[in-house]
């Protein structure tokens, strides 16, 4: 917790520490560095170079701590039965539990490998893990039987999540005196027209009789434009996101909006303006086969009830694009505690995660033929 690995800042010091812990247990570590930042990912392996086994995945970055903490956010502080620090739940507690669990085993006795993937900049669109995908696709020894992503789920198994695209709409028009508002287009007014087009797309989302939420959602999160009330706005910028399930391609969902955008852009170019939309980031939706043998075995080990869908995103959809293995999202802590002051994870949740990982190793890497040392 003491490593302040806020997104967009270096995580190399933490990775050095994490690598040393894995190597001390007899593991091997490969670093996959970013080509344009001072950040990296690592793929650590304990056990034989062979297909099968486990892949345990998580991100090393955290959101900024902000204010109103009752303790130093970079110092792990015990409060009652909880441990408080930035990243305690999301999701450094998972890494701590994994290291504790695998230290119970003699890696030379493993029949299949335990892989640990630690990535960077997940909080800003699963950026870092993308560097790892070509390595995973090309390495025949990284073919896990199951993948576990340790996001905070209160140790409840999850099997799917929505994908997301983040877009930036930029409208430009010639600035003019406000007395010309009846004849000169305003960037703000035109942006509002396109926001309404997005609202119409959302209103057309199909809703099945048993659906609690639509299969996709559109949110205009920020709007910035104009300089003064007596100036016709020359620029307006709108950031919006689309969250979608695996059955809805965002390009198809947004097709009516982009059609409206093309018409508006053509209209503005006549007077020296533009309306353009830029894709800033994206990650795909995830769904996995809940009836797959490995998944059902992991659900039994978690012993926390039936697997359900997840309301936030992970790197799971990206990993699924290169690895043919069921993916379970299951980790200690509550997502409601993440991204806020006094973020915490309970000791009970960490203990459950340690037990979960131990049993996964027994099941998938030892075939229940050996016992942990403790």
Assess whether 275 and 295 both reside in one domain.
no
Chain segment 77-111, per-residue pLDDT in tens = 999 999 999 999 999 999 999 999 999 999 999 99
Residue 205 lies in a domain: yes
* 86: CATH: 3.40.630.10
Quick one: pLDDT at residue 207?
75
Q: If you average pLDDT over every residue of the chain, what do you get?
A: 95
Quick one: pLDDT at residue 327?
98
Instruction: Give the count of domains, the chain.
Output: 2
47 alpha carbon, distance to own chain's centre:
28
Whether this model's pTM surpasses 0.85? yes
Residue 81 lies in a domain: yes
Q: Which domain holds residue 236?
A: 163-283
Assess whether 237 and 309 both reside in one domain.
no
Chain segment 275-329, per-residue pLDDT in tens = 999 999 999 999 999 999 999 999 999 999 999 999 889 999 999 999 999 999 9
Band the pLDDT of 369: cuts 50, 70, 90: very low
Residue 43 lies in a domain: yes
Contact 361, 105 (CB under 8 A): yes
Burial class (CB in 10 A: 0-12, 13-18, 19+), 353: buried
**Cis before 91 (ω within 30):** yes
Assess whether 60 and 108 both reside in one domain.
yes
DSSP 145-213: SEEEE---STT--EEEE-EEEEEEEEEE---EEGGGTTTS--HHHHHHHHHHHHHHHHHT----TT-SS
Place of tokens 């009752």: 70
Between CA 357 and CA 355 the distance in angstroms is 6
- Looking at 283, 311, 332, the residue that finishes a domain is 283
Assess whether 31 and 151 both reside in one domain.
yes
Chain segment 49-85, per-residue pLDDT in tens = 999 999 999 999 999 999 999 999 999 999 999 999 9
Contact 311, 161 (CB under 8 A): yes
Band the pLDDT of 371: cuts 50, 70, 90: very low
Residue 174 lies in a domain: yes
Assess whether 244 and 290 both reside in one domain.
no
- Looking at 256, 283, 310, the residue that finishes a domain is 283
Quick one: pLDDT at residue 372?
39
The helix (run of H) or strand (run of E) holding residue 17 is helix 12-24
Assess whether 149 and 227 both reside in one domain.
no
Residue 370 lies in a domain: no
- Looking at 250, 283, 316, the residue that finishes a domain is 283
Assess whether 118 and 212 both reside in one domain.
no
Band the pLDDT of 206: cuts 50, 70, 90: confident
The helix (run of H) or strand (run of E) holding residue 297 is helix 293-302
Residue 325 lies in a domain: yes
Cα distances (angstroms) measured from residue 25 to each of 33, 48, 296: 23, 14, 29
């Amino acid at each position: 917790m003491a490593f302040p690995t806020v997104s967009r800042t270096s995580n190399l010091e933490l990775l050095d520490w994490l690598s040393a812990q894995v190597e001390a247990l007899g593991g091997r570590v490969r670093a996959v560095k970013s080509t344009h930042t001072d950040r990296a990912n690592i793929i650590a392996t304990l056990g034989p170079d062979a297909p099968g086994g486990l892949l345990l995945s998580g991100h090393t970055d955290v959101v900024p701590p902000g204010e109103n903490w009752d303790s130093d956010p970079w110092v792990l502080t015990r409060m009652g039965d909880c441990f408080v620090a930035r990243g305690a739940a999301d999701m450094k507690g998972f890494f701590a539990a994994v290291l504790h669990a695998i230290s119970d085993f003699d890696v030379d006795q493993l029949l299949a490998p335990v892989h640990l993937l630690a990535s960077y900049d997940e909080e800003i669109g699963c950026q870092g893990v993308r560097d790892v995908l070509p390595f995973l696709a090309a390495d025949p020894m990284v073919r896990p039987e199951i993948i576990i992503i340790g996001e905070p789920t209160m140790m409840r198994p999850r099997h799917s999540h929505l994908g997301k695209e983040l877009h930036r709409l930029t409208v430009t028009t010639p600035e003019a005196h406000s007395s010309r508002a009846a004849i000169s287009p305003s960037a703000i007014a035109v942006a509002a027209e396109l926001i309404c087009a997005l609202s119409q797309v959302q209103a057309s989302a199909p809703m099945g009789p048993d659906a609690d939420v639509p299969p996709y959602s559109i949110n205009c999160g920020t709007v910035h434009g104009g300089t003064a009330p007596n100036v016709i706005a020359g620029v307006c910028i709108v950031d919006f996101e689309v969250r979608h399930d695996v059955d809805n391609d965002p390009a198809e969902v947004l097709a009516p909006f982009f059609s409206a955008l093309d018409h508006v852009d053509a209209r503005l170019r006549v007077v020296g303006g533009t309306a353009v939309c830029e894709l800033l980031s994206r990650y795909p939706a995830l769904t996995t086969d809940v009836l797959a043998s490995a998944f059902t075995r992991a659900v039994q080990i978690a012993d926390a009830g039936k697997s359900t869908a997840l309301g936030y995103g992970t790197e799971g959809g990206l990993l699924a694009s290169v690895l043919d293995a069921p993916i379970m999202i299951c980790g200690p802590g509550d997502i409601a505690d993440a991204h806020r002051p006094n973020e915490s994870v309970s000791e009970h949740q960490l203990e459950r995660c340690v037990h979960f990982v131990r049993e996964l190793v027994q099941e998938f890497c030892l075939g229940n033929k050996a016992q942990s040392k403790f």
